[in-house]
Amino acid sequence: MAHITTVNLSNDKWNETDAGLIAVGVFEDKSFTPMAEEINTASDGAFSQAVEIGDVKGKSGESHTFYLEGKRVLLLGLGKKDKYSAMSVRVAAGKASRSAIEKKVDTVAVECLCIDCKHCQAVGEGLVLGSYQFLDYKTKGKNNFELKSATVLGCTKEDITKGAAIANAVCLARDLGNHPGNVTTPSRLAEAAKEIADEGGMNLTVFDREEFTEMGMGGLAGVAQGTDEPPKFIVLEYMNGGDEKPKVIVGKGLTFDAGGISIKPAAKMDQMKYDMCGSAVVLGVFKALAMLKPALNVVGIVPSTENLVGAKAYKPGDILKGYNGKTIEVLNTDAEGRLILADGLSYASKHYDPEFILDFATLTGAVVVALGHIATGVMGTDEGLMEKVKTSSKSAGEKVWEFPLWPEFCKQVQSDIADVKNTGAPSQAGSIAGGAFLKEFVGDNIPWVHFDIAGMAWGVKPNSINPKGSATGWGVRLVLDMLDV
């Protein structure tokens, strides 16, 4: 873990702070934030001159360093004022942290970059997310530099603290994804769940291979046949909401996916350590619940295993029986994520009376073909729940695009010899086929949305809050917004 965990608050003036870097802002219309205006006046118009010359344009993501009155001052571009949003604030605050690291300055102070304090939480989020680096396997040396502290000058403490906590949860999800498959194993996910449960006073149940096989989880048991690494079925219960129905989040915990007998190509197979990023969303959300302790009932479910080639590995043509009793024809062992999620969704439907179910999975390469590394494909059974997803998507700055689950698509996962098959029509609507399959394992009348995060869990274009070559923790902020945390 290499990131700040807390964000401090101070009422110091810009020339009173002892931070090594001070960050303020300018918009594209050439207007300055209040503290930037103060510094501009005190420096005889240093900022204004740079703007008029054209060196400073105020575009989002832009930054310029000035040296004024013995201070190192970073002027951040904030973009268009009429389009200024929480995401704009996150990106700007993240740029401040990232710039401090690049300049090897271990303390940064940032002006409250909000307009009328509408997005104070985003300042805390951006500072922590921008400080994130994955250095666990780098030999310590002069090139490994970490930010030690960040301070916000003039913001609401509650909002800043909440933002930092949410960003810490995202960073946990990133860490779990970034560790290799020999470290982030199903057992490690169970350990992480225990750490979170202990911190938040939650109930934790972990079923091992013998237990979940005896319970009838044929999807998870089938995929796990090819690995000696102990698989787990993890259930976290955060019950702090009285009699209200629980919200359930299910995450695919495939800690390494070689494809099984339908083996993947060698190129980029190393990236299949990220195939557990759906489970990282669940654990990240529960980390935030443990820290913030909202009045909610939330259940998290993580079916977890590896998918390898072995003497006992399941085979194309095998028939498995899911936890809800439906039989599954296996046509491709590399379409395994939906098999383990099927048992997770069935378990949630049977043992809880959920208000809704959300599931997260790096399920298909097809979603990357459709949406690239720009948005997550979503599909579900309830229009009201889908609208909540879209609203929270905008608030969290995590884009989604709805795919249809029309009956024609659902028919494509019906099998001639079993109830369903784990593939759809050849080379057609692959991401939708995954959702259509999962729908078979969601209880009747339970609102449900499936998130295919394969394009967003890693591989996104780096920016100030998403480092290069890293898991993103995508989805944690969106879910927490949906939960009104």
Q: How far apart are CA 31 and CA 139, in angstroms?
A: 44
- 123 close to 113: Cβ distance less than 8 angstroms: yes
**The pLDDT of residue 138 is above 90:** no
Q: How far apart are CA 83 and CA 81, in angstroms?
A: 5
- pLDDT number for residue 314: 99
**Cα 350 → chain centroid:** 27
Mean pLDDT for 105-132 is 92
pLDDT digits (tens, 9 = 90+) for 175-220: 999 999 999 999 999 999 999 999 999 999 999 999 999 999 999 9
- pLDDT number for residue 442: 99
- pLDDT number for residue 405: 98
Mean pLDDT for 415-426 is 98
Q: How far apart are CA 436 and CA 284, in angstroms?
A: 27
**The pLDDT of residue 116 is above 90:** no
- pLDDT number for residue 157: 83
- pLDDT number for residue 416: 98
**The pLDDT of residue 268 is above 90:** yes
- List CB contacts of 454: < 8 A, sequence separation 6 or more: 361, 362, 363, 364, 365, 367, 368
pLDDT digits (tens, 9 = 90+) for 285-318: 999 999 999 999 999 999 999 999 999 999 999 9
pLDDT digits (tens, 9 = 90+) for 51-65: 999 999 999 999 999
Query: Which of 444, 440, 452, 426 minimizes the C-alpha distance to 370?
Result: 452
103 residue type, one letter:
K
- pLDDT number for residue 115: 74
Name the residues annotated as catalytic: 264, 338
pLDDT digits (tens, 9 = 90+) for 436-478: 999 999 999 999 999 999 999 999 999 999 999 999 999 999 9
List domains and CATH numbers for the chain: 8-154 (3.40.220.10), 168-482 (3.40.630.10)
**The pLDDT of residue 345 is above 90:** yes
Confidence of residue 154 (pLDDT cuts 50, 70, 90): confident
The structure tokens listed for 392 are: 């929270």
pLDDT digits (tens, 9 = 90+) for 68-88: 988 999 999 999 999 999 999
Q: How far apart are CA 408 and CA 33, in angstroms?
A: 54
Query: Which of 251, 437, 207 minimizes the C-alpha distance to 328?
Result: 437
Query: Which of 180, 194, 117, 171 minimizes the C-alpha distance to 467?
Result: 171
- Global pTM exceeds 0.95: yes
Query: Which of 418, 433, 19, 6 minimizes the C-alpha distance to 219?
Result: 418
- pLDDT number for residue 144: 84
pLDDT digits (tens, 9 = 90+) for 354-407: 999 999 999 999 999 999 999 999 999 999 999 999 999 999 999 999 999 999
Helix 157-178 to helix 186-200 angle, to the nearest 10 degrees?
Answer: 160
Average pLDDT, the chain: 97
- pLDDT number for residue 1: 63
